[in-house]
Structure 1
Amino acid sequence: IKGVIIPDNVHVFVSRNYGVTANDKVNELIFKLFVATGIVTLLVWFALGWRPALVVLIVIPIVILFTVFSAMILGLTIDRVSLFALIFSIGILVDDAIVVIENIYRHWLMKEDTGIAVSVVAVSEVGNPTILATFTVIAALLPMGAVRGMMGPYMSPIPTLGSVAMMFSLFAAFAFTPWLANKMKPSMKQLKAAAEKEHKSNERIGGFFRKTITPLVENSVLGYGFLVSLFVVFFACCVMFYTTAVSVKMLPLDNKSEFDIVINFPEGTSLIDTVNLASRLAQEAKKFDEVVALQAYVGTASPYNFNGLVRHYYLRTKPWEADIQVELTDKTERDISSHEIAVAMREVMAPIAKEAGARIQIVEMPPGPPVLQSVVAEIYGPDAQTRRQFARDMTEMFEKAPSITDVDNLMQQPYEIWRFEVNRDKVLRKGISIDAINQTLEMAMGGFVVGDLKRGSVVDPTYIVLQVPLSARSEFSRLGTIPVQSPSGALLPLSELGDFVKDVEEEIIFHKDLRDVEFVTGENAGELAAPIYGMFQVDDMLEDYVAPDGVEVDHGFIGGGYFGPPATSHQSGFEWTGEWTVTYETFRDMGGAFMIAM
């Protein structure tokens, strides 16, 4: 379409192609599916021989095909999560087949007969234990399906497809495996040779365990010493989290080929100031060799993805709001990850934005379910003034926390606006409705859609918007000359029906679960790129803090808003959300389900 619909002097760049990204991820997982199948087959070949390995190699694709068919019946798509479920299940899919074929070989050796009747007896002997073992594995998988919240739909294909795969593997072990074993049965001589080889291997392994375990059983000092050492090692591993020797994070940082720079000026800032800063930051971004393209959206909403949907990017249409989408080279063509580039870019751009009086956020694409921001504190209080002051104080604490960066809040700063104040007496005398005046102003300011142009079968029509030129809109004296039609047909200038007055924009009131709330947000920073560390740091600052209403805010891991909102809004309180909520809800629901399963 270049040169036909798109002029030759217009540069076109594909800024987002998630189809390619998804295809690469799926291809990578399919490759790992083959790798996992190959590894399992080689292990069976090494332990039992090539015939059982061939049986396993045939059974695995059969089970996977049945599982994929079940996914279609259940309405699940073959995506990254469902493919991960198949890869995760491969190691346990072959357990039933291995148990059945190994017992068939054992009975053939015992009876020195490779007949079908012997095979039937062998399969029936391990039938009930194999069924019980399969349902035990399913019981271990199903608790993942109990997860609610954002992670629920994300994780549900794993227990669903994993359980289905286990059921089909059980069916394949009883239906296909005995038949294949009889079709590819070895000679008695080969069976005895394999048994002798296995016996020698077992003797070597048994000798090692006898030398290791026997002293622990016979010598009580060694036995209790070993038991105590296990407890010591266990608690030492747990302490590593507290000492930050090992950092904890719900999901690892992904290596994407894009991220966003979100710019927020104080409310009321002119579009020119926002454009200037966005242009300057874009110039800084171009200095990075890994950046291949940039798109800036100033005063208008950028095309949003799932992450942007949760973060409400489609509402970012004010003159003091801007987004810069940064496109990077493919991860295979660079030596550093997108997270490292984002950290380096933040160090360069944060001082520039601060100097201009703005706040920026370097937003990376999350590997899992998106949240409002990585670290979020929801602030509650008895009244708007107390609640907002507490939110300002919490914002300062966020800024002091070493593990939190890109700090901001969703409170609107007071700024001046112009509004048209209608002279109701004149309007009533002239018989003109308030709606007619509002519609006239809407048409003048560019918010009135006259119609749309339908070109072929386009999804989004081209709207016809009526708007007075900017030169006229910027002068109230000229806006006052806009005529308003009365019911009698007479045209009256707008200036005769009211006046333009300066006012202060009302503050936004956020609600959650019918309670007034403010939001303080931040991103992870530093080596400990997990929300919990920044939350602990803010908790430490709350020890000596007294809220504006004179109360000491509940803090700490037990009562400090980690597990739900405060019981009442009659005094200052807060709740931790963001990535922490996803983490907590996942382990809470899975833990409860595992307890029931056990």
Structure 2
Amino acid sequence: MKKFETFVFNILASNSKQWLVIILTLVALAASVMMLPTKIVLAKMLPGKSANTYSIYIHTPTASSIEQTRAVAECAVGFLQKEKEVVDTEVYLGQGAPLDYAGLVKGSAFKNSENEAEIVVNLTDKHEREEPSFMMVHRLRPTIKTNCEAIVPGTVIEMIEQPAGPPTLASVVAEIYGRNYESIYRLSQKIAAIFKKTEGLVDINIMADDPYKKYELVPNSDKISRSGLSVEQVNKILYLAFEGMVVAHKNSKDYPDQIGLFVRLSDKTRRLRDHSRQALESKLASLKLMNKKGMLVPVNEIVDIREVDASPTIMQKELRRMINVTAETDLVSQVYPLLDARSTIMNELAKDYKIETTDYLFNLRLTDKKTGEVFDLKWDGEMKVTLDTFRDLGAAFIAALILIFLLLVVYYKNFTISGIVLAGSFLSIIGVIVGHWVADMVTEHTFFLTATSLIGFIALMGISSRNSLLLIDFAKALMLEKGFDKQHAIAVASATRAKPIMLTAIAIILGSALLASDPIFGGLGVALISGTVAAVIVSLIFIPVLMFRAKAMDPEKLRELQEV
């Protein structure tokens, strides 16, 4: 290591070389950090997860029939059956599939209407196929949505993947709160329109019933009495015709309870030719009841038909009326599309609403300039989990830095020396970010800076601190016990401790290499590998320069500290 000792000695001997090392290090730090806002390195909670299953949610317009929903589902299944990696599909019409990990928070249990359907897609084992499930979803999404959503105008098809981390309602969720349902719904449509124009957001859906008209059948008591019928007769035939009802029971020795006999008109008979009032009147005219005199009375003569507005399902959260607008992301992070959508919301809606930020960083409060109505827009979903996780890990990182600094101050009894060690710990972020940039260039899919990457960075702080401590303590010993001058002691300490520092780094790199290929913990592996490389370079070149320029490392100062 004599050559390396000479190399460090020559750097310390020249003031210009010292400044060159400092400037290059600071430039590397600034350049690496700028990779995040410039989107050279993208941040995401967790990368895509390849699973053996995924789901397709189908939402036709609220007034749609089960036949229309079935047609959309059959269209989607037709494309899925062409995929050789699809083992089978399960279609649930008018309901959600049995709850799974993803469906627990996505509202599967609430699906109970003719305009809803869910398709569960089972794939071959992920270890036996080349294409991961999230890439299959990415490839099939535009094909299925383009061809199948057009069957029933207004249909929304969502491709739901198994979450790699905490399950959420969607990647991006805009919760819109207000007092009046119609006003909230109109604002939610504007938000959804902005989402549709935002690059990176797909599967936009308003989780609310579409406004539509429906017909109520009200028995006319006067006409029923004059016809010699009863209201009970009229109600029964209406239920028998359209809904069906139990009319009798059957007993069986093989079954402990009575078996109900359910009767209704066949699907073909009870179906209307269209959604018009005339079609309903025609169907009622074909239903006849016999009165006490043996005369047949058409039902349309004793029933009033009223057109009314359908009552929407009211959603509330924390006792406040709200509507969710959801969106998924297609192989991109949630943060960047949200920032784009939020900026567009503030620009496009500013002419109709007074917009201001509220308690949370990205949440907005919109006040209608004409009516004075106040709406709150709160962000939720995987995006919020991402922001909260990065915020919490950032706080943990700052807390770790403070604790390390306090421990070093207690140990060295000097703020300058403690700051040198702390600088070496922080600068490993250069390697972490650059490592993700390199990994993104050599991998097929986008390699994100994830939560596990930040965990690796926090773990690196202890390793980086150890490297600096080795150099400082050894250089101190050489100056105080062997009488070395400052420059010589730092050069010898760097060369002598280079071997154990590098051996430790190699052990970390080899151990972390197993993690680097993992889809979830790949960020942790890359952070440990690249951060360790950066920590070694910083420890052996940059830290010696700081030590040499620090007056606290002069032999006289060290003796004073030793005597304290």
TM-score tier, shorter chain, comes to 0.5 to 0.7
CA contact (8 A) 1:375 1:523 kept: yes
CA contact (8 A) 2:366 2:375 kept: no
Match of 2:313 among 505, 508, 529: 508
CA contact (8 A) 1:407 1:522 kept: yes
Q: Given the alignment of the two structures, is residue 393 of structure 1 paired with residue 196 of structure 2, yes or no?
A: no
CA contact (8 A) 2:45 2:389 kept: no
Alpha-carbon separation, structure 2, partners of 1:478 and 1:590: 69
Q: CA deviation at 1:291?
A: 1.4
2:156 is matched with 359
Q: Given the alignment of the two structures, is residue 313 of structure 1 paired with residue 108 of structure 2, yes or no?
A: yes
2:24 is matched with 229
* Paired AA for residue 391 in structure 1: S
Alpha carbons of 1:419 and 1:584: their partners in 2 closer, same or farther (altered >3 Å)?
same
Q: Given the alignment of the two structures, is residue 345 of structure 1 paired with residue 140 of structure 2, yes or no?
A: yes
Match of 1:379 among 176, 184, 202: 176
Alpha-carbon separation, structure 2, partners of 1:252 and 1:501: 53
Deviates more, 1:245-254 or 1:563-572: 563-572
Alpha carbons of 1:588 and 1:426: their partners in 2 closer, same or farther (altered >3 Å)?
farther
* Secondary structure of the corresponding residue to residue 387 of structure 1: helix
2:411 is matched with none
Q: CA deviation at 1:373?
A: 0.7
* Paired AA for residue 540 in structure 1: S
Deviates more, 1:229-238 or 1:254-263: 229-238
| Matching of residues 467-478 of structure 1 within 5 Å | 467-470=263-266, 476=284
CA contact (8 A) 1:300 1:317 kept: yes
Q: CA deviation at 1:318?
A: 1.6
Alpha-carbon separation, structure 2, partners of 1:547 and 1:435: 57
2:347 is matched with 544
Q: CA deviation at 1:264?
A: 1.2
Alpha carbons of 1:300 and 1:518: their partners in 2 closer, same or farther (altered >3 Å)?
closer
1:571 is matched with 374
Alignment RMSD: 4.4
2:450 is matched with none
Alpha carbons of 1:547 and 1:563: their partners in 2 closer, same or farther (altered >3 Å)?
closer
1:116 is matched with none
2:84 is matched with 289
Q: CA deviation at 1:295?
A: 1.4
CA contact (8 A) 1:545 1:553 kept: no
| Matching of residues 322-333 of structure 1 within 5 Å | 322-333=117-128
Q: CA deviation at 1:346?
A: 0.7
* Secondary structure of the corresponding residue to residue 373 of structure 1: coil
Q: CA deviation at 1:223?
A: 3.4
Q: Given the alignment of the two structures, is residue 553 of structure 1 paired with residue 355 of structure 2, yes or no?
A: yes
Q: CA deviation at 1:365?
A: 0.5
Alpha-carbon separation, structure 2, partners of 1:292 and 1:395: 35
2:209 is matched with 412
| Matching of residues 515-534 of structure 1 within 5 Å | 515-526=320-331, 529-534=332-337
Alpha-carbon separation, structure 2, partners of 1:454 and 1:216: 98
| Matching of residues 243-262 of structure 1 within 5 Å | 243-262=38-57
Alpha carbons of 1:310 and 1:217: their partners in 2 closer, same or farther (altered >3 Å)?
same
CA displacement 1:305-329 (0-9 Å, x = unmatched) = 1211211112222222111211111
Alpha carbons of 1:277 and 1:225: their partners in 2 closer, same or farther (altered >3 Å)?
same
Alpha-carbon separation, structure 2, partners of 1:282 and 1:276: 10
* Secondary structure of the corresponding residue to residue 520 of structure 1: strand
Structure 2: gaps of 5 or more residues: 225-230, 272-282, 292-297, 404-564
Alpha-carbon separation, structure 2, partners of 1:572 and 1:251: 32
| Matching of residues 82-101 of structure 1 within 5 Å | none
* Paired AA for residue 417 in structure 1: K
CA displacement 1:112-149 (0-9 Å, x = unmatched) = xxxxxxxxxxxxxxxxxxxxxxxxxxxxxxxxxxxxxx
> Which of 1 and 2 has higher RCO (CA within 8 Å, sep 6+)?
2
Q: Given the alignment of the two structures, is residue 279 of structure 1 paired with residue 74 of structure 2, yes or no?
A: yes
Q: CA deviation at 1:536?
A: 1.6
* Secondary structure of the corresponding residue to residue 104 of structure 2: helix
* Paired AA for residue 515 in structure 1: R
* Secondary structure of the corresponding residue to residue 405 of structure 1: strand
Alpha carbons of 1:547 and 1:288: their partners in 2 closer, same or farther (altered >3 Å)?
same
Alpha carbons of 1:351 and 1:472: their partners in 2 closer, same or farther (altered >3 Å)?
closer
1:585 is matched with 388
* Secondary structure of the corresponding residue to residue 355 of structure 2: coil
Alpha carbons of 1:546 and 1:224: their partners in 2 closer, same or farther (altered >3 Å)?
same
| TM, length-normalised to structure 2 | 0.56
CA displacement 1:203-231 (0-9 Å, x = unmatched) = x4xx5764455455554443344334333
Alpha carbons of 1:498 and 1:215: their partners in 2 closer, same or farther (altered >3 Å)?
farther
1:110 is matched with none
Q: Given the alignment of the two structures, is residue 301 of structure 1 paired with residue 96 of structure 2, yes or no?
A: yes
Alpha carbons of 1:345 and 1:414: their partners in 2 closer, same or farther (altered >3 Å)?
same
Alpha-carbon separation, structure 1, partners of 2:397 and 2:247: 56
| Matching of residues 68-83 of structure 1 within 5 Å | none
* Secondary structure of the corresponding residue to residue 317 of structure 1: coil
CA contact (8 A) 1:295 1:324 kept: yes
Alpha carbons of 1:273 and 1:498: their partners in 2 closer, same or farther (altered >3 Å)?
closer
* Secondary structure of the corresponding residue to residue 323 of structure 1: strand
Alpha-carbon separation, structure 1, partners of 2:85 and 2:117: 22
Alpha-carbon separation, structure 2, partners of 1:577 and 1:408: 14
Alpha-carbon separation, structure 1, partners of 2:20 and 2:232: 85
Alpha-carbon separation, structure 2, partners of 1:372 and 1:449: 42
CA contact (8 A) 2:102 2:161 kept: no
| Matching of residues 46-65 of structure 1 within 5 Å | none
Alpha-carbon separation, structure 1, partners of 2:232 and 2:35: 66
- Give percent identity, aligned residues only: 26
Alpha-carbon separation, structure 2, partners of 1:208 and 1:481: 108
Q: CA deviation at 1:455?
A: 12
Alpha-carbon separation, structure 1, partners of 2:10 and 2:316: 66
Alpha carbons of 1:220 and 1:324: their partners in 2 closer, same or farther (altered >3 Å)?
same
Count of residue pairs the alignment pairs up: 375
Alpha carbons of 1:450 and 1:314: their partners in 2 closer, same or farther (altered >3 Å)?
farther
Q: CA deviation at 1:394?
A: 0.8
* Paired AA for residue 539 in structure 1: R
Alpha-carbon separation, structure 2, partners of 1:255 and 1:453: 51
Alpha carbons of 1:406 and 1:441: their partners in 2 closer, same or farther (altered >3 Å)?
same
CA contact (8 A) 1:390 1:547 kept: no
CA contact (8 A) 1:241 1:248 kept: yes
Choose between structure 1 and 2: higher strand proportion.
Answer: 2
CA contact (8 A) 2:200 2:329 kept: yes
CA contact (8 A) 2:49 2:164 kept: yes
| Matching of residues 434-449 of structure 1 within 5 Å | 445=243
CA displacement 1:369-408 (0-9 Å, x = unmatched) = 1111111111234533332222111111111111101111
* Paired AA for residue 291 in structure 1: V
Alpha-carbon separation, structure 1, partners of 2:366 and 2:233: 47
CA contact (8 A) 2:75 2:148 kept: no
Q: CA deviation at 1:415?
A: 2.5
Alpha carbons of 1:220 and 1:323: their partners in 2 closer, same or farther (altered >3 Å)?
same
1:102 is matched with none
